[in-house]
């Protein structure tokens, strides 16, 4: 649908990432099923991944050197830069960046038509797909059926090692 959430944080710590996840969950009225990110260490933090598990959200990092998998994010960041950030005076000491970002988010999601959505706003697109949105019990069941694991940053290597010798490496444990 191209719906998005925008917040500004002073760092890339796990606490900020967890807070942002809360903002996503508070913004969208439907169950979030998957999150796809780059390979930033903040996303491989166990606290963040436990939080995803608490909300039955599957985590998928983008394959390295695969920018085509992140095209929608790259496009929306380009739009943010040209239509929003170009108007913000960062030298203003009284500037509330998050208030401005939330205002832009509301405009982007509910007022700004998108050519990729045939002139609809993301909100209009979401409403047209509402009958397809699963309910939380179904999302929860699918999550548990998938045996979702906490993914350490070196998880691809761990999977390789597990295939070679299952006795060598154990799975990370949930708290």
Q: Where are the domains of the chain?
A: 14-164
Please name which of 170, 172, 6 lies closest in space to residue 83, comparing C-alpha atoms.
6
pLDDT of residue 125: 96
pLDDT of residue 160: 73
Superfamily of domain 14-164: Ribonuclease H-like superfamily/Ribonuclease H (3.30.420.10)
What value does the CA radius of gyration of the chain take, rounded to a whole number of Å? Answer: 19
Model confidence at 172, pLDDT cuts 50, 70, 90, reads low
End-to-end CA distance of the chain: 35
Least confident window among 9-18, 48-57, 130-139, 150-159: 150-159
Average pLDDT, the chain: 89
Instruction: Judge whether residue 57 has pLDDT over 90.
Output: yes
Q: What is the pTM of this model?
A: 0.82
Q: What are phi and psi of 87, to 5 degrees?
A: -100, -10
């Amino acid at each position: 649908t191209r719906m998005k959430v925008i917040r500004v944080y002073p760092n890339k710590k796990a606490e900020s990432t967890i807070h942002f996840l809360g903002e996503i969950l508070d913004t969208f009225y439907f169950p979030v099923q998957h999150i796809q990110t780059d390979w930033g260490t903040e996303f491989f933090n166990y606290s963040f991944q436990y939080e995803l598990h608490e909300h039955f959200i599957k985590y998928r990092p983008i394959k390295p050197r695969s920018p085509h998998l992140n095209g929608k994010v790259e496009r929306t960041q380009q739009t943010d830069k040209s239509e929003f950030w170009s108007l913000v005076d960062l030298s203003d000491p009284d500037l509330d960046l998050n208030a401005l970002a939330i205002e832009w988010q509301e405009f982007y999601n509910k007022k700004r038509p998108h050519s990729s959505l045939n002139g609809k706003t993301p909100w209009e697109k979401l409403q047209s797909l509402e009958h397809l949105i699963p309910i939380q019990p179904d999302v929860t069941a699918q999550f548990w059926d998938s045996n979702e694991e906490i993914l350490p940053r070196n998880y691809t290597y761990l999977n390789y090692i597990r295939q070679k010798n299952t006795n060598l490496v154990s799975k990370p444990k949930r708290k």
